[in-house]
């Protein structure tokens, strides 16, 4: 956002904002819930997101439960272990998956814009790589012949679901006159 002259604050800058429960059925619902609640408290522009992994053979699971797939406060390793257990009987050529990121930009007047990025891949049989977090070590990107955890951060930012959603955000912000004027 630096080239746009926009200052970004995080929730750490607003300790009075309570935790917002992500209990929606979709990424859009969860991102929207956070954006609306925080915008109503701060009366500022707000960007909120929700993201996760969807595995086609598991009918979209873990989906919005990605961070809690193996239970509340679960670790990345436990979530990966559960996913690999759930998918172990599914042939490799039927393990299509995608990372999804939905971002909602909320204006103080409650006008909203929804941005979405996706990264297509598949699930391999065991973790590979030390970069990244979450499901990155088991998410295979065939075009790169690597897992998401085997690519460097610059490359990841170009192809990831978050990177793609953020590109859309930058374009949107460049075209929004209230923000582009400061």
129-167: b (≥16 Cβ within 10 Å) or e: eebbebbbbbbbbeeeebbbbbbeeebbeebbbbbbbbe
Q: Is 9 exposed, middle or buried (0-12, 13-18, 19+ CB in 10 A)?
A: exposed
Whole-angstrom CA distances from 91 to 53, 66, 124, 128, 175 are 19, 22, 10, 18, 45
User: Which positions are catalytic?
Assistant: 50
């Amino acid at each position: 956002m630096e080239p746009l002259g926009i200052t970004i604050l995080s929730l750490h800058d607003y300790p009075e904002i309570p935790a917002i429960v992500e209990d929606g059925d979709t990424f859009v619902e969860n991102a929207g819930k956070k954006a609306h609640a925080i915008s109503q408290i701060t009366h500022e522009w707000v960007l909120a997101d929700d993201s996760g992994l969807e595995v086609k053979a598991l009918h979209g699971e873990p989906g919005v439960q990605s961070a809690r797939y193996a239970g509340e406060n679960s670790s990345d390793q436990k979530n990966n272990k559960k996913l690999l257990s759930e998918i172990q009987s599914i042939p490799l050529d039927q393990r299509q998956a995608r990372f999804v990121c939905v971002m909602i930009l909320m204006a103080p007047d409650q006008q909203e814009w929804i941005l979405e990025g996706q990264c297509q891949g598949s699930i391999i049989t065991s973790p590979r790589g030390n970069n990244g977090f979450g499901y990155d070590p088991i998410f295979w990107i065939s075009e790169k012949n690597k897992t998401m955890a085997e690519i460097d951060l610059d490359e990841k930012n170009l192809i990831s679901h978050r990177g793609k959603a953020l590109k859309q955000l930058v374009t949107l912000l460049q075209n929004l006159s209230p923000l582009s004027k400061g």
